[in-house]
Chain A
Amino acid sequence: MAIASIELSQFSAFADAEIDFSPGINVLVGANGTGKSHLMKLAYGTLRTFGVGRGRSTLKPVQELESKLAELFQPDGLNVGRVVRRRVGKGGLGGGNNRATVDIAFVRGGHALFTLHTKGPQHVRLQTTPRARLGTAVFLPPHEMLTLGSAFVDLAREYEVPFDATYADAAAALGRPALKTRPAFIRDIETRLLASLGGEVIREEGRFYVRLRGGGKMEAPLLAEGLRKLASLIRLLQNGSIRRGSVLFWDEPETNLNPILTNTIVETINELATHGVQVVLATHDYFVASRLSLIGQKRPEKGRRRTRVRFIGLAVPDDSDADGTVLESPGVLVHEADQLEALPEALLVKALIDHADFERSVVLKGALDR
């Protein structure tokens, strides 16, 4: 069940924001500290609380939501009220009981509407729950979890570890056994990814290995991190964690990948989106964003659906007026567009231009050592 929209008030860096999501690929772009990861964790935490991956919990939904958000954001004292937006002055943090409002709408699934409070016995108050049980959600953090495996899941369950819940959840999802039968589109994607990896992903006694095409097997920790990420994706496809109707959150998929593997991953994301997987990713990479932008504009091949790509640009506005007076920040500005270039002042384009200008200044000054 895909996310249709998210409305936020006083949450994290957002003052008031309304963001529409595409059922296909959603690309979050913006500088550090603009709330990309917080937005993804919020949506993921909600989906996990009301989704089929919830399991047999004895907690009430509101307790489970509070606990999940606390595990994801890891605030001091696991007080999720700390993700309420902090304002300067009277009524700000340390003042009254500030609150944030979150309203997440799902396609054909109703809403999850809740408030977060800085004070009080309960930091989360649930007002509306989704009409139906939501689909599965997977969150892939920037670094791979294949090497930590099931031992990490046990550790995170028993002890306070300095990793947010996305890591333990990803490790737990990887630990599931492979499905006996898999849809044709998953098998196609798997075949292509296995060719890039150079072998099969196997699990023996809780540890992952790659059985190499040329013979022999290599334990996951000896693989390059980029290849481990690829192997993780293959595993999640094989065991049905990523399937039609699920939502895949991926924070900086390009981290530790070589540029060719990055393109393979982007093409895989496109394949998944055309087969009903909603993807929400955050990137700082111009080539990832630009390629996804072109994929969204490309005329689909005969018999195939166009991938719907939405760019969500987050930016912190200039907080001073013309005479230099510092104003209270209006919160992160949200811009939505169907292509990268339509976002105002895209940071990724700026970085590319900055590099081109630097190259020109060095070359034209004759400052390169020959």
Chain B
Amino acid sequence: MAEFQESGWTLDFDDTAWTRIVKWDDDPCYRQGIERMKGKTRRRLRGCGLPRCHWRNGSDELVDEGTRAVDFAAIGPGRIPWLVEVKSLRGDTATMPIEERAVDIAAKVRDSLCGVEWARPRSAGFVPSPDLQHVRRALGRATTVRVLVLFDDLRPGSRTQTLALQAKLRELLIWLRGDVVVYGHQELPGELGLAVS
């Protein structure tokens, strides 16, 4: 068992199913690597088009172009690469609409694939761990990637939040040709080899 703390939860990965696990958003290759790309760009927003509306001709807005990361990059069940994101409905983002949340997670997947691929031994100060190197090689060879999101549902017995998030994420990550699965913390299937408490 490998134990990690994330978003107030304790995650126990069964080491027979999960052979390599990298806490990607804490990894030095992320912190000193792709995460350093931060900044804002000016985007032109389309106006609403209504007569007399001062937004009619559009406006400029500064948009954050920072890099994001999923919580874990791993080699998991099926000996294939998995990207794992843990989300809690508590805290500041509780009211975030599903669509925005899905875009946020999809961007993390995109940035993580890019960051892990670039995490190669390049200098004395930038040496990936053996686990990260295994995950990177697996991602390079893989024809499929699984994206697992652990997410709360609001009411007992309701799967509305997880289903909606899964549907939107599958739409956004269609280019990945991978599987996206979203589970509530309380309903993880046994064969996943992951326990959350």
A: residues with CB less than 8 A from B are 286, 290, 320, 322-324, 339, 341-342, 346, 349, 352-353, 355-357, 359-361, 363-364
Residue of A286, A322, A353, A360 touching B46 (CB-CB under 8 A): A322
A328 to B60, CA, bound (A): 30
> Is B123's CB within 8 Å of the partner chain A?
no
Residue of A323, A346, A360 touching B154 (CB-CB under 8 A): A360
The answer to whether A290 touches B161, judged by C-beta atoms less than 8 angstroms apart, is no
The answer to whether A323 touches B56, judged by C-beta atoms less than 8 angstroms apart, is yes
Given the interface pairs A324-B50, A341-B171, the reply to whether A359 lies near B154 with Cβ below 8 Å is yes
The answer to whether B46 touches A356, judged by C-beta atoms less than 8 angstroms apart, is no
Across the interface, name the chain A residue whose C-beta is closest to B172: A341
A290 to B180, CA, bound (A): 13
The answer to whether B161 touches A360, judged by C-beta atoms less than 8 angstroms apart, is yes
The answer to whether A349 touches B95, judged by C-beta atoms less than 8 angstroms apart, is no
Given the interface pairs A352-B164, A353-B167, the reply to whether A324 lies near B154 with Cβ below 8 Å is no
The answer to whether A320 touches B154, judged by C-beta atoms less than 8 angstroms apart, is no
> Is B163's CB within 8 Å of the partner chain A?
yes
The answer to whether A356 touches B163, judged by C-beta atoms less than 8 angstroms apart, is yes
Across the interface, name the chain A residue whose C-beta is closest to B58: A322
The answer to whether B168 touches A353, judged by C-beta atoms less than 8 angstroms apart, is yes
B: residues with CB less than 8 A from A are 46-47, 49-51, 56, 89, 94-95, 97-99, 154-155, 158, 160-161, 163-165, 167-168, 170-171, 174
The answer to whether B174 touches A356, judged by C-beta atoms less than 8 angstroms apart, is no
Residues in chain A near residue B46, CB distance under 8 A: 322
Given the interface pairs A353-B164, A357-B98, A360-B95, the reply to whether A324 lies near B158 with Cβ below 8 Å is no
Count A-B contacts at CB 8 Å: 61
The answer to whether A359 touches B50, judged by C-beta atoms less than 8 angstroms apart, is no
Residue of B99, B155, B158, B167 touching A341 (CB-CB under 8 A): B167
A357 to chain B, nearest CB (A): 5
Given the interface pairs A320-B49, A324-B49, the reply to whether A359 lies near B167 with Cβ below 8 Å is no
- 22 inter-chain pairs at a CB distance below 8 angstroms, sorted by A residue, are A322-B46, A324-B51, A339-B174, A341-B167, A341-B170, A342-B171, A346-B171, A353-B167, A353-B168, A355-B160, A356-B161, A357-B98, A359-B160, A359-B161, A360-B89, A360-B98, A360-B154, A361-B95, A363-B154, A363-B155, A364-B94, A364-B95
Residues in chain A near residue B163, CB distance under 8 A: 352, 356
A339 to B175, CA, bound (A): 12
B17 to chain A, nearest CB (A): 20
A318 to chain B, nearest CB (A): 10
Given the interface pairs A323-B49, A363-B154, the reply to whether A356 lies near B160 with Cβ below 8 Å is yes
A339 to chain B, nearest CB (A): 8
Residues in chain B near residue A323, CB distance under 8 A: 49, 56
Residues in chain B near residue A360, CB distance under 8 A: 89, 94-95, 98, 154, 161
Among B94, B99, B164, the most chain A Cβ lie within 10 Å of the Cβ of B164
A178 to B164, CA, bound (A): 44
The answer to whether B94 touches A353, judged by C-beta atoms less than 8 angstroms apart, is no
A208 to B50, CA, bound (A): 59
Other A-B pairs, 18, CB within 8 Å; known A349-B164, A364-B95: A322-B46, A322-B49, A324-B49, A324-B50, A342-B171, A342-B174, A346-B171, A352-B160, A352-B164, A352-B167, A353-B97, A355-B160, A356-B164, A356-B165, A357-B98, A359-B154, A359-B160, A360-B154
Given the interface pairs A359-B158, A359-B161, the reply to whether A353 lies near B99 with Cβ below 8 Å is yes
Residues in chain A near residue B56, CB distance under 8 A: 323
A339 to B174, CA, bound (A): 9
Residues in chain A near residue B164, CB distance under 8 A: 349, 352-353, 355-357
Residues in chain A near residue B155, CB distance under 8 A: 359, 363
Across the interface, name the chain B residue whose C-beta is closest to A362: B154
A194 to chain B, nearest CB (A): 31
Residue of A320, A342, A349, A364 touching B167 (CB-CB under 8 A): A349
Residues in chain B near residue A364, CB distance under 8 A: 94-95, 154
Across the interface, name the chain A residue whose C-beta is closest to B48: A324
The answer to whether A357 touches B97, judged by C-beta atoms less than 8 angstroms apart, is yes
B10 to chain A, nearest CB (A): 25
Among A286, A353, A355, A363, the most chain B Cβ lie within 10 Å of the Cβ of A353
Residues in chain A near residue B161, CB distance under 8 A: 356, 359-360
A322 to B51, CA, bound (A): 11
Across the interface, name the chain A residue whose C-beta is closest to B50: A324
Among A290, A324, A342, A346, the most chain B Cβ lie within 10 Å of the Cβ of A324
B152 to chain A, nearest CB (A): 11
